[in-house]
Chain A
Amino acid sequence: AAGVIQSPRHLIKEKRETATLKCYPIPRHDTVYWYQQGPGQDPQFLISFYEKMQSDKGSIPDRFSAQQFSDYHSELNMSSLELGDSALYFCASSLGELNEQFFGPGTRLTVL
């Protein structure tokens, strides 16, 4: 069965640079969630989209923005990167809201 695809899997950036993380949900899934997991931490919710509209927002810095496109894939744009942004970024998808969320393998971002 098809799973959630995230690219790239690993990303190394310098401070103050910009990064774009991509997420391709499971086919037919219309809802995408982004989570950030710092080292030794639990995943923290950043933002979610349902049918290409933002549906909820968590503790996402103003330097970050995201959107969901017409094909339901989503991109998380991160600007003015800081050392503290180094983390594993998960995308999850579901069919509609309030359904099981399937997680992608994550993108490991390292900011030097």
Chain B
Amino acid sequence: AQTVTQSQPEMSVQEAETVTLSCTYDTSENNYYLFWYKQPPSRQMILVIRQEAYKQQNATENRFSVNFQKAAKSFSLKISDSQLGDTAMYFCAFMTSIQGGSEKLVFGKGTKLTVNP
């Protein structure tokens, strides 16, 4: 079974600075998807960024980028120019890409990020 580990329960960063959230995962599959979801106080689950394991290039979405190290099974999220609105719980998630397999999302325990003014 796949597992996702987020070793940082809480982090804080000053507004406009850069912060990196860590995520490691365990799987025997070669092809899969990785995601970062943001959950602000409203509790809405918002997709931040997505990475396909077969792609070597790291995904980027505006101020958000990932460092995907497949061999190390590591998938960290970097937030540049942090904004107050980035304050939220961030979940790392794994999904298989095997057709007919379990397409459920497996989440880590989350990292609570606070951006300070």
Which residues of A come within 8 Å of B, CB atoms? 31, 33, 35, 37, 41-45, 48, 55-56, 58, 88, 90, 92, 97-98, 100-103, 105-106, 108
Contacts and interface: CB of A to CB of B under 8 A. Distances in A.
Interface of B: 33, 37, 42-47, 50, 91, 95-97, 99, 102-110
A56 to B, nearest CB: 5
Secondary structure of the B contact surface, majority rule: loop
Which of A92, A97, A105, A106 has the most CB atoms of chain B within a 10 A radius of its CB?
A: A97
5 contacts: A42-B107, A55-B103, A98-B95, A98-B103, A103-B44
B43 A56 contact: no
Contacts of B107: 42-44
B103 A43 contact: no
